[in-house]
Amino acid sequence: MSDGPSSASARGSWSGAALLVVLSVSAAAAVPAQNSTRKVRTPPSEVAARAGEAVRWHDDVAAASAAAEESGKPVFWYVPTVPGSRMDRKPEIDLYMRAGPFSWPGLVALLNEHFEPVRQVPGRELAKEHGLQPVAFIEPGFVVLSPAGASLDRADELTTFHPRWFTDRLLATLPAERREAAAKAARWDLPLAGAKITAEPQTAEEYWWFGAAQYDHQEQEAAHQAWAGLVARFPEHPLAAKAQCEIEGLGPFVRGFEVFLPLPEGVLADFGAARGTTAPQGTYDAEALRRAGLRFFAAMQRADGGFVDSIYDFGGTDSLPNVYAAVTALVGLALLETEAWLGDDAPEREVLAPVRQRALDYVCDEAHLNQQDRDELIWAHLYRTQLLARWMELRPDDVETIRPRLVQAVQSIVGMQGDDGSWYHEYPNPFVSGSCLVALAEAREQGVTVEDRVIERGILALSRCRAENGAVTYSQVREGRNARAQVEGGVGRMPLVEHALAQWERGDPERLATALDLSFEHHDELASVRKYDDHANRYGYGGFFFWYDLLVRTEAIRALPADELRSGLLARQRAQVLALPEIDGCFVDSHELGRVYGTAMALILLARTESR
């Protein structure tokens, strides 16, 4: 079986960067500038909604099991969600699966000919019978049952879609005597991989792949024309509905969840070695992860320099431009940090430099922000500040160009400080205030001053959120009120707050040491909900806080004296990051924030935890 498509059209090839324009971009542009939490979530069109219907799904598990007893084929049970799940974007995740794996001709053939496929959300009793409870099973996922009902395989936390991974995993569940025939059915990717990319595609596969190749070369209009041609000429083909999803910006390819580059054999050797689409331990070292991340960034960057794959809209659809700017700033920071670790003759430098420069220009262009929206704007300002401060530090020849931009970014943060001294995203809270104080301290290191009054008010607001037990509240505590919080619920925020205060000479070394200890102690609780897009467990942890908490923890560790304790904590943090790449070497936490955000955060952490 082929490892993937030709290099001319492989997602993440060095030859071109993807022009990624998703439906939410158009939706955001159509919403008048305002500070609204209204979420514009356009459903798929009639054609796009048919994605995944080429699979001959049974109505329920009981019907599939009865058919399996008669046919002798195993049951493939696609589990879109489970009872009690706290996942917010269930429809979007389901469509990723239907327009991704369940639209691949080879996988469709494999399921229809060699399995009894069923798509069912289990009721509570069925979920209990198969261990499909929230956190224990994080959608999307699947279960494979023998004709007698025994469990043959199960996988959840599916956040990277690759044909080889899916087909090889399912083939492994079949009896040896059936695998050869099943493998032939699954080899749809061979003609795709070897197909000649021409201006006049003839088959449905060629139409699809020609469009994908154009996307990888930033030719979005040509990609849409090819996919529209597929829909018009082959309306009943499994790829037609998929192509329409991609045109509408709803598919997994344009969102960055679907990849086709060859995978390391290690991810295909033992499917039980890691959960979901996380790569088995040791598959990638830091250098391989850097290369994978840089390829991915080059493929996902828009022509204007932005990264717009995220669908994080808790602050409303009108906040998305500010989310894009924040993510783009983090990518720029990841590229800066990565460049500092590359050798002078590293071939990646040639690709890295233009991607980094376009990202910088994007985040410094005020036209890319929605200044009227106040929900996510602060993230764009503070991450831009950190990018510019680090740029000045690492690229001193650019100081004269960067300094005015940094001054403007700092002024933007100061301008968003509330009357009580706190800062806010969606609502005033200590983690945003702490992050702002850290960003302002980094700007100070580059010679940009901030009025003492701004800092003093920020410190007072932040200090009000520290409870007597050392915990930190989730929301801002008003003046005159006592802070009350569970230690367990605030362990992600505690290192940040102590670090932020220390940056302005108000810290307590013992409190910081305790905060770091507790943060590591409860790391597994945080990691357990990493792929949820909402608060999901007993402590209220949310998946979208995962990389954020690791980053602020690392910043706090790096501020410690250079001794064995600091080195040990950085090594511990680094090991956690190295354990989490996806099968293609990229990273993710919540689906809403996206794989670009996760990969940027991980590369920043790898650079900042590495010793030289």
Lowest-confidence segment of 294-298, 380-384, 574-578 by average pLDDT: 294-298
Confidence of residue 142 (pLDDT cuts 50, 70, 90): very high
Q: Which residue do the tokens 């514009």 mark?
A: 40
- The predicted pLDDT at position 200 comes to 81
Q: What is the pLDDT of residues 419-436, one digit of tens each?
A: 999 999 999 999 999 999
Eight-class DSSP state of 138: -
Q: What is the pLDDT of residue 24?
A: 34
User: How many separate helices (H) and strands (E) can be counted in the chain?
Assistant: 26, 6
Beta-bridge partners for 78: 119, 142
Contact residues for 513 (Cβ-Cβ < 8 A; gap 6+) = none
Share of the chain above pLDDT 70, in %: 92
Distance of CA 261 to the CA centre of its chain: 18
Query: In this predicted model, what pLDDT tens digit does every residue of 439-452 receive, in sequence order?
Result: 999 999 999 999 99
pLDDT confidence bin for 219, thresholds 50/70/90: confident
pLDDT at 540 > cutoff 90: no
Query: What pLDDT shows up at residue 54?
Result: 97
Mean pLDDT of 85-91: 95
Rounded Cα distance, 24 and 318, in Å: 10
- Mapped onto helix, strand or coil, the DSSP state of residue 178 is helix
**Tens digits of per-residue pLDDT, 305-334?**
999 999 999 999 999 999 999 999 999 999
Strands 151-155 and 116-119 come out as unpaired
Q: What is the pLDDT of residue 163?
A: 93
- Residue 584's SS3 state is coil
Please report the pLDDT score of residue 189 as a whole number: 59
Mean pLDDT of the chain: 90
Nearest CA to 371 among 321, 332, 327, 406? 321
pLDDT score for 4: 32
**pLDDT at position 391 over 90:** yes
Q: What pLDDT does 349 receive?
A: 86
Dihedral sign from CA coordinates of 405, 406, 412, 415: negative
The neighbour count for residue 224, using CB atoms within 10 Å, is 18
CATH class of 43-266: alpha beta
CATH architecture for the domain at 286-609: Alpha/alpha barrel (1.50)
Q: Report how far residue 500's alpha carbon sits from residue 241's, in angstroms, rounded to the nearest whole number.
A: 50
Confidence band of 198 (pLDDT split at 50, 70, 90): low
More confident residue, 270 or 588: 588
Question: Stretch 559-575: mean pLDDT, rounded?
Answer: 94
Mark 206-217 as b/e (b = at least 16 C-beta within 10 Å): bbbbbbbbbbbb
pLDDT tops 80 at residue 590: yes
Rounded CA separation 438/455 (Å): 11
Task: Quote helix, strand, coil % in the chain, to nearest 5.
Answer: 55, 5, 40
Residue 171: both structure tokens together = 């083939």
3-state secondary structure of 278: strand
Q: Evaluate whether 171 touches 165 at the Cβ level (below 8 Å).
A: no
The token duo for 608 is: 């900042």
User: Is the pLDDT confidence value at 573 over 60?
Assistant: yes
Q: Is the pLDDT of residue 87 over 50?
A: yes
pLDDT, tens digit, 9 for 90 and up, residues 18-72: 222 232 333 333 334 457 889 999 999 999 999 999 999 999 999 999 999 999 9
* Alpha-carbon gap, residue 463 to 231, rounded angstroms: 58
Percentage, residues of the chain above pLDDT 90: 79
pLDDT in tens, 108-121: 999 999 999 999 99
Name the token pair of 215.
């996307």
Whether the predicted pLDDT of 88 surpasses 70: yes
pLDDT of residue 288: 95
DSSP label at residue 133: -
Contact (Cβ atoms closer than 8 angstroms) between residue 39 and residue 313: yes
Take residue 458 and report the two structure tokens written for it.
């920020």
Q: Provide the token pair at 571.
A: 């090594």
Mean pLDDT of 214-226: 85
- What per-residue confidence (pLDDT) applies to 199? 65
Q: Is residue 334 a contact partner of residue 307, using CB atoms and an 8 Å limit?
A: no
Q: Is the pLDDT of residue 530 over 90?
A: yes
**What is the pLDDT, as a whole number, of residue 362?**
98
The average pLDDT across 226-255 equals: 97
Domain-wise residue ranges, the chain: 43-266, 286-609
Helix axes 238-247, 105-114, angle to 10 degrees: 140
Per-residue confidence (pLDDT) for residue 490, from 0 to 100: 87
- 11 has a pLDDT exceeding 90: no
